[in-house]
Amino acid sequence: MKTAVSESAFPAIRCREKMIPIGSKVLIMGILNVTPDSFSEDGHYLNPETAIARAQQMVAEGADLIDIGGESTRPGASYVDKDEEIERITPILTRLRKLTNIPISIDTRKAAVARAALDLGADIINDVSALQDDPRMAQLIQESGAGVVLMHRQGHSRNMQHAPQYKDVIGEIKAFLSERVSMARSKGIPADHIIVDPGIGFGKTLNHNLEILGNLGEFLSLGHPILIGVSRKAFIGTLTGKPVGKREFGNAVAVATAVWQGAHMVRVHEVGAMHDAIKVAQALQNMCDK
């Protein structure tokens, strides 16, 4: 069940010169991984032309934002040097920024990469470390006026799925996100620039992920919009027995559940199909709320 916090408490997210309305509909963040070792695309979008075509397709299918990642954060992923990460995202971001004014997020933990992306027109920094991995990141976000996603992660990519444990998964994630929001605010990042993400699959077992989805409304009391990323993740494969590329139906159920439980934004691969799932879930939710 959702908590009593009203969505009107955060009617919009501000990111540089843009304002993204929150609450009237669940927003879709389309995933564009430009890495050779993504768990779901295996380098398919390393070619800039292919990546740009995919981004434009996602916009046409209903994406409200595009999230570009130049370093895989999947379990066991290798570290990528900042220069290589910048080299991967630069041609895509440069072209895409000229083609559309849609808000663009950069999935990175490195301030140098974030700075390069912001210089090229990015609007949001999606930091899976919640500003922990690079001490320069908070100041950069504050100075640029960018939006920021603060995500929970237990451990690091190389070890986060090695028997993750919690005494109280919801309470511990909530406390972590509260602390990271306080840290961001102390560095001068305005409240209406902050999005929180409980980090499905980042140091969580199957049961942890299900508990998070079933209690997503608990995070509304943090006072910031909630982003959830379930798309193609291992827990859906465990439940369905399907490989990465055939988890669309499982994804749709997880996305609809996230909507029902209070998510404001979902990060997905199959934008068109998830757009339909969200519309149906919201229509049912609105009917039940009457």
Enumerate the active-site residues.
233, 267
Q: For the chain, give the DSSP string.
A: ---S--GGGS-EEEETTEEEE-SSS-EEEEEEE--TT-TTTTTTT-SHHHHHHHHHHHHHHT-SEEEEESS--STTPPP--HHHHHHHHHHHHHHHHHH--S-EEEE-S-HHHHHHHHHTT--EEEETTTT-S-TTHHHHHHHHT-EEEEE--SS-TTTTTSS---SSHHHHHHHHHHHHHHHHHHTT--GGGEEEE--TTSS--HHHHHHHHHTGGGGGGGSS-BEEE-TT-HHHHHHH---GGG-HHHHHHHHHHHHHHT-SEEEES-HHHHHHHHHHHHHHHHHHH-
Structure tokens at 102: 């849609």
Tokens representing 4? 């009593």
Q: Give the count of alpha carbons within 13 A of 70, CB side only.
A: 27
Tokens describing residue 110: 């490195």
Cα distance between residue 48 and residue 57, in whole Å: 14
CA dist., res. 115 & res. 93, Å (int): 13
